[in-house]
Amino acid sequence: MIVADLPVGRLAATLAGPGLRLRTGPVVTRIRSTVPEVLAGIALHYSQHPIEDDEGFADFHVQVRPPPSFRRWVAPQLFFDFDGMPPFRPLPRAQAFPMLEWGLNWCVSSHAHQYLIFHAAVVERGGRALILPAPPGSGKSTLCAGLVHRGWRLLSDELALLEPDTQALVPLARPVSLKNASIDVIRGFAADAGLGPIVKDTIKGAVAHMKPPVDSVRRAGEKALTRWIVWPRYEAGTVGRLTAWPKSRSFMRLAENAFNSSEHGRSGFETMAKLIDRCDCFEFVYGDLEQAATVFAALAQQE
């Protein structure tokens, strides 16, 4: 069963009652909420995701809820609870869905230590994965969103999950978080992008989520081996081109983007080194998304 199989009324009742056991790749999250924006966000962005039965196991138990105080009505705020405790400060109610998304990212990056986890987008084409690690503001999510509308499969917009034993990347196809000018860029780039409402004045500015492509969600069980690591950076007016980047420096930059390398100790170092060994590493400065997609299409054609 997938989320879209549930009539909206039943989805609302499930969220308000026992919770929706939502499967995203290898992760099952039990989500509870009575907040309409959460219901609408899940109905839109997760419509094709599988759901587990009410008695099934869940890795994480989360809730988006109003506070039990006057802040329920005056300048309303919401809490994100993890196992009954709020790990973060409350946020304005208008940010309900982004808050859920950020909370789900935190659940995985803070707890799924069976994987070596990097802050990176991951896409795949022809069975070979491309990791796009980068700090916020670099254009990573924009590039990721653009590529998945030009023939690449979305594995993740935010978290690269690397299996240490197999070196495989595990898909975690969830909504792509677009910020500020990127929202209109993607709207113009792909008319069918499936963008949700724009939420303004978040800590990241204006945010809108893009629904993950149906094919990417359906193929969430297909892992992929990495072939390329590319460090993207948006620079207006630049003609995009790939520049080879030394593996030693790629290792260091990748380490800076690892969430949990300390959890893996020495074996985490070895896992990352094997990843670097198997990849071609590049820096990619781009100013036009369509032209960038052309560059990556050519890269995917190479042996």
Partner 1 sequence: MFVALTTPVRWRIVAPHAIAWREWNGEVVVRAQSGSVHLLNPFASLVIRLLIDSPTPLSTDELSSALQASVSGSHLGEARDEVDASIEEFERLGIVEPGPS
Binding residues (CB under 8 A) for partner 1: these are 246-249, 251-252, 255, 261-262, 265-266, 269-270, 273, 276
State the minimum distance, in angstroms, from the CB of residue 283 to partner 1: 15
Nearer CB in complex with partner 1: 9/246:
246
State the minimum distance, in angstroms, from the CB of residue 89 to partner 1: 30
State the minimum distance, in angstroms, from the CB of residue 266 to partner 1: 5
Q: In the sheet where 176-179 sits, what is the strand order?
A: 176-179, 205-210, 199-202
What does DSSP say about strands 128-133 and 116-125: parallel, antiparallel, or unpaired? antiparallel
State the minimum distance, in angstroms, from the CB of residue 249 to partner 1: 7
Backbone angles phi, psi at 276, to 5 degrees: -65, -40
Going by the DSSP 8-state scheme, the letter that residue 171 receives in this structure is P
Query: What is the C-alpha to C-alpha distance for residues 137 and 204, in angstroms, rounded to an integer?
Result: 9
Nearer CB in complex with partner 1: 209/264:
264
State the minimum distance, in angstroms, from the CB of residue 72 to partner 1: 45
Nearer CB in complex with partner 1: 66/268:
268
With a CB cutoff of 8 Å and minimum separation 6, the contacts of 248 are none
Mapped onto helix, strand or coil, the DSSP state of residue 217 is helix
Nearer CB in complex with partner 1: 171/268:
268
Nearer CB in complex with partner 1: 106/269:
269
Mapped onto helix, strand or coil, the DSSP state of residue 173 is coil
